[in-house]
Structure 1
Amino acid sequence: MKTIKIILLVVLSLGAFSCSDFLEEEYLAGANTEQYYTSAAGMESLIASAYVTNKIWWAQEEGYDFSTAGTDIYDYGQQHPQQYQYTFTTDFNPTNSRLVILWVEFYRGINACNDAIDILSDPERTPFTEPKTKVRLAEVRFLRALYNWLIVETWGGVHLSTEPVKGVVLEANRTPVEDFYSLILEDLDFAVENLNAGDNTGSSDFGRVTKMAALGFRSRMNLTWGYYSGDNSFFTAAANDAQSVINSGNFDLWDNYADLWELENNDNNPENVWAINYSRTEYAAMNVDPDTYQSYQRAGDKPWDDREGGHLGHLMFGMQYDIIPGMTRDVENGRPFRRYNPTMYLIDAFHEDVDERFYGSFKTTWIANDPDTTRLKWPRAGWHSDENDPLNGKPVVVPGDTCIFFYKGVFPEDDTLIENDVLQNYIWHYERNFWTLDHSYMFNPDGTIRGEKTNDRNLCFELSKFLDPGRPAANGTGSQRGIRDCYVVRYAEMFLNAAEALWKAGDGPGAYNLLLPLANKRSYDGDGAALLASYGINGGADLTLEFFLDERAREFCGEQ
């Protein structure tokens, strides 16, 4: 193996933070780690610290940056502080603060897993009974597989760590991608074989790895490695794992896609196979020492100690509604950080006349909520200036009116769209009395975002999946911390994994039959065959990789 000179920091944290009881561990300063970890309390603390690494990626800006954005479906928004990640200038280099923190924290998590695996694999040192040892060992091997997957898909064949590390490592070996996936699948095989159906399914265990989580994630990994290796046996294995979850009877699909994202359904969501649990408490924080990464911060980066933690998706995909007359920032409509804008490719991927996922995923309408009606009144640049005009002297928008409406189509040519006269940089629909953008204003013909018409990318179709109207404040303290859990493995994925795997293995009809139950639920009238036909799929022979990629975008956009 070729050796590369890097600094691999693997500092293991005893402290652990989360909303779940099993992660609310107490930090014991000065404890002898070996002695402490061989106690039951110490091992539980170590395992909890291994889970915490998830909170640097899932529903966090760093994770969105290297999973959702910069793809066919999402581009940077107006306030993304590191837009060079998408324009690929030389400013995007290995010292990028977001790459650094992911690198360090992933290896920190893997080291916690390796420490736990080392002790739990030794009958003389494990503090648990044999059955409990198997369960906890299965959990940390699952987590090691998850973090290794994130590493290899972000950086490729870099350092593969399989043993506990103490201190600072100054050399790392390049490792073939094949070796990563070999260990990933080996760890997941262990997790599936050693977790029973009822393990970690109690209410106090929410967020722990379960057998269904291990099967679901192994399905994803088998499908992925099937593409890498070209070995059809992995596609068969992926289909089998996914169908095991489907046939378990533990999960269900919502009749209305929007219900999946209702906050009241967060805690008992039948589509959740495995999630990262968040809350509004101090345990939602990422537990990152701001000083560790401060030297990598650049102009525009948000200071680490300004981050409240929790599910931050509600901040990232918002559009700047609160600058438009008639609107003021409130909890219900969110605090828009404007990090990411959907591309034309994503918006056009939906057939919203038959597919409920477009309006279940995106917000297109805002109702005026600003009690101050003096901000803007008629007439404006001659519009409604006649003294007999009933709107002369009246507010342009009053509370309760439709204030903003974004249209996926193109308004008819005889509609009057007033640019700049009513308000500089904004477009007013004269006949319908609202601020607006349609498809032709939002996107250029070549598919790029039309920056000058979207007010420098601060206006867009807003991903509404993660809105959190229960936050204690619209601004300042409490306005960031989202309470949503972040779904890592979702039931709908199992239908797509099984269908795609069967298609790759040569069973087109079987693949089509597995797409139908999901399509039935995602269509307005329950006619999944008609929904699939609208996308050009009338049977297994019509299936293509492009369809599966587009279908995953429709189902999972924004979900990493």
Structure 2
Amino acid sequence: MKFLNKHILIIAMAAVGLAACNKKLEEFNPGGSTTDAVFSTPEGFESLVNAAYTYNRWWYGKEEGYSIAEMGTDIWTSGTGDKYPDLTNYNNLQGSNSVMSALWKQLYAAVNLCNAGISRIDKSGLTEDKKKIRGAELHFLRAFYYWHIVETWGGVHYSLDETNGVITTANRTPVDTFYAQIFRDLETAMSNLPLTTTDYGRATKPVAEAFAARMYLTRGMNQQAADMADKVIKSYGYTLLPKYADLWRMDNLQNKEIIWCVNYLKNLVFDDKADATLFPNGHSRGANNGHLMFCMKYDDLAGMQRDIANMRPFNRYMPTLFLLNLFDETADARYEASFKQVWYCNNTKSAPSGMKLGDTAILVTKKQLPLSAKYRIFNRDEIYTANGGGLDRTHYISLQKFDDPTRASMNEEQSARDAFIIRLAEMYLIAGEAQFKLGNPQKAADYINIVRKRAAIPGKETAMQITAADVSLDFILDERARELAGEQLRWFDLKRTNKLQERISLHNPDAKQFFQSYHTVRPIPQDQIDAVTNKDTFKQNEKYN
């Protein structure tokens, strides 16, 4: 987002929090300035608020965020390139996992920066109107970051005070306390944020209300969730795009369906890869890297070579057979819009005889088709075992929603693609789920049908419509998978509906063999456990070493 690119490195001083524990943070302090001096000026305080947003870039559009929020569910399993099978398949998951450590530190640094801003805003030198807005943004962001913390790790450390210097203790705070504060912060945000913003990517009133709808649903406050989602749907001019595929076009990222996103920039210099505070050693590859994660390896096959259009294949994650079978591709346009099944010849030097540029070189299918003499076919039984587990983890139908054919070179790891955090379709699905839980299946079907009508292949609208009798919690979860696959919500969806273990057991045989009931929270990083002095009260989450 353009306003975030002006943050200054002095923020490192304010970001010291629980993550630092008994280790000293190296500070960059240009001109000998202090945080008190910098943050007591309007320009300096604006840099604090801008910096508070940037921690979203550790999660959204990043490998770490995908590994924790999409993997270990019913709809994804490991490709050959999966770096964190302990996290993504629960295979001996422990506090030593590096993703756990990195995200813990950054999320707590983000919370501490919000705490600092909230406590310092009265001395910021901002006008009263500006104080109201910036304070509301910080309250919103604190709620947003605390949600990630409490859902990931459960009742862990909680504080509303700015931390200065070294701390050596941590507390254990109940989950209910976290959520009580999340709702207090959201009330402040919803009361004081503006309806719109000229700085794309900042929080606004509808952004806060949309996130509140998600939080109400998470906590079983179904009437509030239904009412808030409906308000967002009706009040602010958001609209579903006519075609699902248009959501993912690189020239259409800022559209009427997006409520909130992480706005990455075409000038990759400003996407933080070189920021030593946020991304030491270029960690997380700077900008959006979703285009790397879901792509199968195609450049080892006849008629193909790596190019910009087909992405750089890290082949981290592959869809479960269950996810692919959720779609009726004869009626639902989301299947073709979401997944890539055909690769076209771009290398005649390695092509079979008679194959020309642009001819089909590879077809990957969830069906069983007769083999072709003209091109390579990967059938279902080559890719998946009889029970649906991964067999060929290198060649598979690939999620293409995050592809970026505008990258400057075929090996470019960074993408300027925005990472969508909340979009309007989720509000319809929240309203539908809340109404179902309130005992109103027809209202639920009405909301869901709006999403499904948009998803219909022209002429197939009737086939896509459901009735009240079709609505169940499992159907809603299936619909959320069809609509939101890859958008960093799935693990949270299954956890909040108490369906994580059940759906893994039914639909992800790779994760099933390792998943245990205690995996509904993740292990506290071992370096955090090692750093605190009150180890008798701040202990590892149950069953983790």
Scaled by the length of structure 1, the TM-score of the pair is: 0.80
1:473 is matched by which residue type in structure 2?
A: S
Task: Give the stretch that moved more between structures: 541-550 or 52-61.
Answer: 541-550
- Residues 93-122 of structure 1: CA distance to partner in whole angstroms, max 9, x if unpaired? 2121111010000000000000001112x3
- Identity fraction in percent: 37
Corresponding residue for residue 361 of structure 2: 403
2:437 equivalent to 1:521? no
Whether contact under 8 Å (2:68, 2:88) holds in the other structure is no
Match of 2:529 in 1: none
What displacement does 1:168 show?
2.6
- 2:498 corresponds in structure 1 to none
Q: State the distance in 1 between where 2:278 and 2:189 align.
A: 36
Which position in structure 1 is the counterpart of 2:496? none
Q: Which of 432, 442, 461 pairs up with 1:499?
A: 432
Report the alpha carbon displacement of residue 27 of structure 1 after superposing the two structures with TM.
3.2
Check conservation: 1:56, 1:286, Cα contact below 8 A: no
Pairing 1:258-407 to 2, within 5 Å after superposition: 258-266=245-253, 268-279=254-265, 280-286=267-273, 289=276, 304-305=281-282, 307-372=284-349, 375=350, 377=352, 395=353, 397-407=355-365
Matched-pair contact (CA < 8 Å) for 1:253–1:491: yes
Could you tell me which runs of 5 or more consecutive residues in structure 1 were left unpaired when the two chains were aligned.
1-18, 227-233, 294-303, 378-394, 418-428
Letter in 2 for 1:38: S
Residues 325-382 of structure 1, C-alpha deviation per residue, up to 9 Å, x if partnerless?
Answer: 101111111001111111011111111111111111001111100142xx355xxxxx
For 2:440 and 2:282, how far apart are their aligned partners in 1? Answer: 52
Between 1 and 2, higher relative CO (CA 8 Å, sep ≥ 6) is seen in 2
Structure 1 partner of 2:408: 472
TM-score, length of structure 2 as denominator length: 0.82
Compute the RMSD of aligned alpha carbons.
1.9
Q: CA deviation at 1:442?
A: 1.8
Is 1:546 aligned with 2:474?
yes
| 1:178-198 per-position Cα deviation (integer Å, ceiling 9, x unaligned) | 111111111111111112323
Name the structure 2 match of 1:248: 235
Is 1:442–2:371 an aligned residue pair? no
Per the alignment, do residues 249 and 194 of structure 1 end up closer, same or farther by CA in structure 2, a change over 3 Å counting? closer
Q: What is the CA distance between 1:209 and its match in structure 2?
A: 0.4
Q: How many residues align?
A: 467
In structure 2, C-alpha distance between the alignment counterparts of 1:328 and 1:116, rounded to whole Å: 50
Looking at structure 2, the residues matched to 190 and 240 of structure 1 have their Cα atoms a distance apart, in angstroms, of 18
SS of equivalent residue, structure 1 residue 179: helix
Matched residue SS, 1:170: coil
Q: Secondary structure at the match of 1:217?
A: helix
Partner in structure 1 of residue 151 of structure 2: 153
Q: 1:183 and 1:364, CA in 2 relative to 1: closer, same or farther beyond 3 A?
A: same
Q: Which amino acid aligns with 2:291?
A: H
CA distance in structure 1 between the partners assigned to 2:173 and 2:460 by the alignment: 48
Moved more, 206-215 or 397-406: 397-406
The amino acid of 2:390's aligned partner reads I
AA at the equivalent of 1:409: K
Q: Does 1:97 align with 2:98?
A: yes
Measure the CA separation in 2 of the matches of 1:283 and 1:158: 33
Cα displacement (A) at 1:35: 2.0
**Map of 1:117 onto structure 2:** 118
- Considering only CA atoms, is the larger Rg found in Structure 1 or Structure 2? 1
Report the counterpart of residue 51 of structure 1 in structure 2: 53
* SS of match in other structure, 2:169: strand
Q: Structure 1 residue 89: deviation in Å?
A: 3.7
Alignment partner, residue 84 of structure 1? 86
Partner deviation per Cα, 1:51-76 (whole Å, 9 max, x = no partner) = 11101000101101100111111111
Deviation at 1:169, TM superposition (A): 2.1
**Contact 1:278 1:485 survives alignment (8 Å):** yes
Q: CA deviation digits over 1:499-536, x for unaligned, max 9?
A: 1111111222211111222111111136555214xxxx
1:235-280 residue CA offsets vs partner (Å, 9 max, x unmatched): 11111111111102421112221111011101x3121100001124
Give secondary structure in 1 for the equivalent of 2:47. Answer: helix
Tell me how far 1:23 sits from its aligned partner: 3.4
Structure 2 residue identity aligned to 1:247: K
Paired with 1:309 and 1:93, the residues of 2 have a C-alpha distance of: 26
C-alpha deviations, 1:401-441, integer Å up to 9, x for none? 10011122222xxx3x3xxxxxxxxxxx22xx111112232
2-structure distance, mates of 1:529, 1:400: 35
Q: Whose helix fraction is larger, Structure 1's or Structure 2's?
A: 2
Which segments of 5 or more consecutive residues in structure 2 lack a partner in the other structure? 11-29, 489-545
DSSP 3-state at the match of 1:323: coil
